[in-house]
Chain A
Amino acid sequence: MPDVRIPTPLRKLTDGQAVVSVEGGDLRSVVTNLDAAHPGLGDRILDDRGELRRFVNVFVRDEDVRFQSGLDTEVAESDTVSIVPAVAGGAGRVT
């Protein structure tokens, strides 16, 4: 099963585990199975439209999935999926 690396802010949903293993042949099914195993995780990764949230970066085989096929990116048994929060500054505009 592919390993999924979980960042600190999400570990409260995985009982503190930094790495979890779930089935899935592509990223979409990995996320679906993640959410089944750890309810709530799916919401943190996908937005209302079922797309990757703006501030979530996902890497499969150390490559940003936006350079691959997004949620359709293939995931092999031996692959590692990393979920990494984007680093944005939060410059709230003063109006």
Chain B
Amino acid sequence: MTTLDVRPVTTPTVTGLRCRECGEPEDLGALHVCSYCFGPLEVVYDETAIAARVSRSRVEAGPGSLWRYADLLPVLSEDPDTRVDLGTGATPLRPAPRLGERLGLDDLWLKDDTRNPSGSFKDRVVTVALSAARALGLDTIACASTGNLANSVAAHAAATGMPAYVFIPSDLERGKVVGSVVYGANVVAVEGDYDAVNRLAAEVADTRGWGFVNVNLRAFYAEGSKSLGFEIAEQLGWRFPDHVVAPLASGAMFCKIDKAFGELQRYGLVEGSRPRMSGAQATGCSPIAEAFERSSLDVRPQRPDTIARSLAIGNPADGYYALQVADATGGVIGHVSDAEIVEGIRTLAATEGIFAETAGGVVVANLRRFVAEGRIDPGERTVAIISGNGYKTVEAVAAGAEPTYRTSPSYTDLERVLAG
């Protein structure tokens, strides 16, 4: 029996890095900061080659993972063995009529990213970052994380045989700690909040030569979130929705969804006007929403205090850019209390059968507010990003979650109990 060669054809798409602020070019590498102005680096694509190649039919003939959009993602190497693919992406986009009715929205859809290999959208960014790391020849992978990213890095490192160090706040939810340890990663619990973890990671990345997916590999990593935008448009029949509502932590995913829509338009894959982009935060960590309310681009750091740990970034790296995206697209940025978040998780689960972690509750609760405040039109085709799986944060909804009935194994007893 011969073994089928199922390795993909990988075609490099990027030519280098460039400072987003001052335009200074940098060579491809594990580098995230402009050596001149400290501005963030972004990948530079070979746009002419991409324009000549990319098409709807090429995408449609691609694999059932985010790599179907490889032409529009950072691919660094022709060597197919550098590509990491655990089947991330291509998650369901579902109409949500029951939740829509509850919230007062007539055309609501859910992008269900609870369905990725490690249970969150982070698998998208990690897939791209690890592939870049392998192409760059890095041998150790790492991240600073509020939990979901740690789970994803640990899983992907395990599957590719790379050693991993994941840095997390020491008081994280149990499910997220277990969900990293189980994959055999080195889990470094840091005494402090995410911002402290992130700062330590920046210093470690600077000295140890590890590939920190969300620090020195961030230019590649962040691009992975574009696949959310690509998929939404393809799944709607190569059309844009009217409005996308996404959770905001660093703000990177939000910006990249918008960027994806821009690229689909630029390369002629989708026509029509770009969606409004609205962001959802928790009141206990709402630095971007707070700046939005002041009509300012100046994000003031906060000390997070919310059950939405996955969004608890008090000093959001891309907050400044997220505000620009909301402003440019006519979107809004809101925030909701922890009680509303819990209610949001329960409502989503009870109406649509999706058990989301706290970030999903944040999105649903903000949607409810946007409707109440008239900031969203009920007729808008709205896509809500449900970014992570609820089994990671059962603590959030555990209170009062008891069996409805208790009975002995006797049928007579059961009948009596059901009759109340």
Chains A and B come from one and the same complex: yes
Residues of A within 8 A of B (CB): 5, 7-9, 12, 18, 44, 53-57, 59, 62, 64, 66-67, 82, 84-95
Q: Which residues of B contact A64 (CB under 8 A)?
A: 195, 301, 315
CB pair B33–A85 under 8 Å, yes or no, is yes
* In the complex with contacts A9-B33, A90-B219, A66-B262 CB distance below 8 A: no
Q: How far is the CA of A86 from the CA of B203 in the complex (A)?
A: 11
Residues of B within 8 A of A (CB): 19-21, 32-42, 195-196, 198-199, 202-203, 206-207, 214-215, 218-219, 221-222, 250-252, 255-256, 258-259, 261-263, 265-266, 300-301, 303, 315, 317-318, 320-321, 324-325, 328
Q: How far is the CA of A28 from the CA of B190 in the complex (A)?
A: 30
Q: Which residues of B contact A82 (CB under 8 A)?
A: 199, 203
Q: Which residues of A contact B39 (CB under 8 A)?
A: 55, 88, 90
| Residue in B34, B215, B261, B321 whose CB lies within 8 Å of A87 | B215
CB pair A91–B203 under 8 Å, yes or no, is no
Q: List 17 A-B contacts (CB under 8 A).
A: A5-B203, A7-B206, A8-B206, A9-B35, A18-B207, A55-B40, A67-B303, A87-B215, A88-B39, A89-B40, A89-B255, A89-B256, A89-B317, A90-B218, A91-B42, A93-B262, A94-B261
CB pair B317–A88 under 8 Å, yes or no, is yes
CB pair B325–A93 under 8 Å, yes or no, is yes
* In the complex with contacts A64-B195, A87-B317, A55-B325 CB distance below 8 A: no
Q: How far is the CA of A21 from the CA of B266 in the complex (A)?
A: 51
- Taking the nearest CB of chain A, how far is it from the CB of B72, in angstroms? 11
Q: How far is the CA of A44 from the CA of B89 in the complex (A)?
A: 40
Q: How far is the CA of A91 from the CA of B265 in the complex (A)?
A: 16
Q: Which residues of B contact A88 (CB under 8 A)?
A: 20, 39-40, 218, 317-318, 320-321
Query: What are the 7 tightest A-B residue pairs by CB atom distance, in nearest-first order?
Result: A94-B262, A91-B255, A90-B40, A90-B42, A89-B222, A90-B20, A88-B40
CB pair B324–A93 under 8 Å, yes or no, is yes
| Residue in A53, A87, A92 whose CB lies within 8 Å of B202 | A87
| Residue in B37, B258, B266 whose CB lies within 8 Å of A44 | B37
Q: Which residues of B contact A55 (CB under 8 A)?
A: 21, 33, 37-40
CB pair A91–B317 under 8 Å, yes or no, is no
Q: Residue of B at shortest CB range from A95?
A: B262
Q: Residue of A at shortest CB range from B202?
A: A84
